[in-house]
Amino acid sequence: MTQNTNAAAPAEAGRTKADGEEIRWQDVLSPEEYAVLRQGATERPFSGEYNTETAAGMYQCRACGADLFPSDTKFASHCGWPSFYAPLAEDRVRYIRDTTMGMERIEVRCANCDSHMGHVFEGEGYDTPTDQRYCINSISLKLNTADAQG
């Protein structure tokens, strides 16, 4: 996991360089989706549609449709948000050091469109191949079950 330590200031989190693009995102995303995906907000725990989902498929970025997390990497962490132990490939996400909320965390964003997904945590003792927990907002994802029907 490579970190980008040149993160934007918290007020700039989730903003693109062109204001016109932000207006486009506001036109295509619901207010709740926009708050999480483009402004870095977090949905309430245990409220998301994919928290307990077990269907096979590919979890994609809700904003741009990029494939991010295969369902076979999802596990029950009981933290209130969908949890995965690895992305489809390291180039599908990017990492940003996040020092908001009085702690140091690693933010996970879609590498394709720079949307906020959630955070990744390490060393929590989960019985997974990577000992990582990608704690991802349900509202940042859409599940494509057609990928599982191959």
Is 135 designated active site? Answer: yes
* Structure letter (DSSP) for residue 2: -
3-state secondary structure of 73: helix
Distant-in-sequence, close-in-space partners of 10: CB < 8 Å, separation ≥ 6: 40, 100
CA distance 137 to 28: 18
**Options 61, 64, 79, 135, the catalytic residue:** 135
Which strands form 141-144's sheet, in the order they lie side by side?
A: 67-70, 58-61, 141-144
3-state secondary structure of 124: coil
* Structure letter (DSSP) for residue 80: S
Dihedral sign of CA atoms 122, 136, 24, 147 in order: positive
The residues annotated as belonging to the active site are: 135
